[in-house]
Each structure stands twice: as C-alpha cells, then as structure tokens.
Amino acid sequence: MAKNKEQDDFIKWLDEENPFSLNEEIEFFIFRCNDCGKEDEVSNCVVEEFHVDLENNEEVEVVCPFCNATMRQAKKKTQ
C-alpha cells in the first residue's frame, strides 16, 4: 500500500505548509455598500488588517468592488 502512504505524507505536508489549514478558523463579515447597497463578504484576516490602523471606536471600511464607494460592516460577529 505504498500509494496510501504517499497520500498520507502529502496530507501532512498540506497541514503544515498551508496557512489556511483547518486549524485556522476563517470567519466572514458581511459588508454593505453605502452607495449601491450591495453586500460583500470580507474574511476576518482582511478585517483585522484594516483594524490595525484604526482607533478602537472606528469602524472598518472597505472599498466596494461594484462601484468603488465605501462599504461598512453590516452585521456584527455573533458569538
């Protein structure tokens, strides 16, 4: 069963090398555009990156991919 062993090694390699492995929990936040009203999902990785430059009471803003206006978070994280 040499083939199965290779597969196991490959899966182990994926777990170690892949930053988006199952150990890393990715959440998505819904952002809504102020202008066109469309919604987009933004991963917590991106939101945290934006948060670095902000004061605690400031909201994260992203650029709308549809019309380039400002999008703000529509739903707070539920936990």
Strands of 39-43's sheet in order across: 39-43, 28-33, 70-73, 61-63
Nearer to Zn ion by Cβ, of 8 and 41: the residue is 41
- 25 to 64, contacts with Zn ion by CB under 5 A? 33, 35-36, 64
Nearer to Zn ion by Cβ, of 47 and 62: the residue is 62
Token reading at 34: 């102020």
Taking the complex as a whole, how short is the minimal distance between the CB of residue 65 and Zn ion, in angstroms? 8
Residues near Zn ion (CB under 5 A), total:
7
CA–CA separation, 35 and 68 (whole Å): 9
